[in-house]
Amino acid sequence: MKPDDIHAVIATLREEYKGWQTPAVTIVAQCNGSPFKVLISCIISLRTKDEVTALASARIFARAQTPEAMAVIPADEISELIYPAGFYRTKAGQIALLSRRLVEEYGGIVPDDIDELLRFKGVGRKTANLVVTLGFDKPGICVDTHVHRICNRLGYIVSKNPDETEKLLRLQLPPEYWIEINDLLVAFGQNHCHPVSPRCSSCKLSGLCDRMEVKTSR
């Protein structure tokens, strides 16, 4: 695709998005979710299906909604609350430690800066960007496997990993699309543009997509 085609891509995905299931972390943010809730949901969501993330987030936030409340919950109990999220024991320890650090070092306030968020164990660039964009409505580009895969599949960029994808998107993607690109492409990837055998025959972007590295499709 040509770089300027991104405007048509975004317009099409915005329309299609209305019929897709909203990503779980976005739902948390939309339901009066604090930056802390967005942060915790992001951690739970890593390598975890959206339906599991949604239920685990609901359980843990019924128990604690602030860093102060979360900091006093034993990691074993957090583990039970977020089960069966992937690597739930590891994530429980990260959530417990992160909550204590927020209380002790940040006055219970989640930082709104990507580099500061990266200082927390268990927080990578994907999570940091998502907290900044969904939690604070500040510019950022959250790149997960869907964003990385689809941007390369479209032919919009050529990159080897999500970190490189983020760098290239920051150079090329119009700023007005930064915050929403993750939501649109995650929903697109979950519902239509699958990693294996994407639904190319019924895709509204078929006329714009280069279909890079697509071996088989439906």
- Burial per residue of 13-46, b for 16 or more beta-carbon CB atoms within 10 angstroms, e otherwise: beebbeebeebbbbbbbeeebbbbbbbbbbbbbb
CA distance 151 to 20: 19
Mean pLDDT of the chain: 96
Q: Sketch the domain layout of the chain as residue ranges.
A: 3-20+141-202, 24-136
18 included as an active-site residue: no
42 with 27: CB under 8 angstroms? no
Q: Given this chain, do its domains 3-20+141-202 and 24-136 carry the same CATH topology?
A: no
Range 81-110 average pLDDT: 98
Tell me: the pLDDT tens digits for 8-52? 999 999 999 999 988 889 988 888 679 999 999 999 999 999 999
- Burial per residue of 177-197, b for 16 or more beta-carbon CB atoms within 10 angstroms, e otherwise: bbbebbbbbbbbbeebbeeee
Among residues 37, 50, 91, 126, the one annotated as catalytic is 126
Per-residue pLDDT at 31: 82
Task: Say which CATH class 24-136 falls into.
Answer: mainly alpha
Domain 3-20+141-202 belongs to what topology?
Endonuclease Iii, domain 2 (1.10.1670)
Out of 25-29, 53-57, 90-94, 182-186, least confident range: 25-29
2 included as an active-site residue: no
Among residues 37, 91, 144, 183, the one annotated as catalytic is 144
- Which secondary structure element, helix H or strand E, spans residue 10, and what is its range? helix 6-17
CA distance 74 to 130: 26
Tell me: the pLDDT tens digits for 132-153? 999 999 999 999 999 999 999 9
28 with 57: CB under 8 angstroms? yes
pTM: 0.90
